[in-house]
Chains A and B, each alone.
Chain A
Amino acid sequence: MNPHDELDRALFALPLETPPPGLREGILRATIYAQPAAQPALLSLWETVGLGVVLAVASWLALALSTNKVLAWQIGHVFGAFGQALADPGTLAWLAAGAFIALSLSVFNLGLPGPAVRAERS
């Protein structure tokens, strides 16, 4: 006979501790009823304001162009002049020179110190 039989019986008959009130509610509130974390905003405040301004100006412009023929002619004239200037070989040459210099600066190493090299593990 196991000398601990009686003790085992007493142990298994021992009731579990009574949990304090609110334990189950607390667990459920922290798990299945937990409010999902707020989703991060798609755009920041300033981005939203900027987008709103751009949309407002574009809407106004579209409305003005459809109703005011003088304004439409003036804007057309401005864009026409801009197009003519771009078509000028001198302007194109200067633009090409600028683009080449910008590309050279971004591609070629001008002897400036590069980023620190991580020390290798010995």
Chain B
Amino acid sequence: MAALAEIHAPMSVPLEPQVLDAELVSQTLAGRAEAFGTLVERYDRAVYHLCFRTLHDVEEAKDAAQEAFFKAYRGLGTFRPSAKFSTWIFSIAYHACCDRIARRKRYSDGPLPDRADPTLGPEAIAEHNDEARALRAAIDGLPEKYRTVITLYHLQGHQYEEIARVLDVPLGTVKTHLFRAKELLRRELAGLREQPVSGEVTEE
């Protein structure tokens, strides 16, 4: 019960904020479990973001994020200190999402929805004259492969190699997908600025 009470209390992990992820992994492996709590604090939101952008379902994204951290915790011994923890956890989360998408396809007869929320379609973009919302909706309208690469670009910045590692694809593929995704987004957003209502994003 004391442990559960601790969960609800604000985390007071007595670790310096500058502690490197690899150091936190080492501390966790050495038996200092609260170090993993710090890693969860650092990455739970980003991992959830990736899962939600990939799965487009709040509950599934939550489950996938939890699954990713659970797998990471259990497999912490296999983490290479030379690797980046963020890349590792994103990779686990991405593959957990892929498994869920594959399961959905297996058990679903009809076509799969490619949007989480239909209210965030192009019409909604025009209604909401909000740049962030418009950009988010435009990302949602991208084909899945581009959407994932853009989401990881958003999370990992310009580190293309890390994105390639997460997706387990060649670096060139990442660059190509990212360029095309950006082009689609740019055109979509430019089109929105010119005309209030536009069609769905299409891949050329």
Q: Which residues of A contact B (CB under 8 A)?
A: 3-4, 7, 10-20, 22-33
User: Which residues does B use to contact A, with CB under 8 Å?
Assistant: 3-4, 6-8, 33-34, 36-37, 40-41, 44-46, 48-49, 52-53, 58-59, 62, 65-66, 69-70, 73, 131-132, 135-136, 150, 153-154, 157, 182, 185-186, 189
A31:B44 contact, CB within 8 angstroms: no
The smallest C-beta distance from A48 to any residue of chain B, in angstroms, reads 30
Contact between chains at B135 and A25 (CB < 8 Å) = no
B153 with A11: CB separation less than 8 A: yes
| A24 near B41: Cβ-Cβ < 8 Å | yes
Contacts of B40 in A (CB 8 A): 24, 27-28, 31
A7 lies within 8 A of B62 (CB): no
Which residues of chain B are within 8 angstroms of A17 by Cβ–Cβ distance? 45, 48-49, 52-53
CB distance from A21 to the nearest CB of B (A): 10
Give the shortest distance, in Å, between A11 (CB) and chain B (any CB): 5
Residues from chain A with a CB closer than 8 A to the CB of B46 are 16
Question: What's the nearest-Cβ distance from chain B to residue A35, in Å?
Answer: 9
Are B8 and A27 interface neighbours, CB within 8 A?
no
Residue from A20, A25, A28, A33 whose CB has the most chain B CB atoms within 10 Å: A28
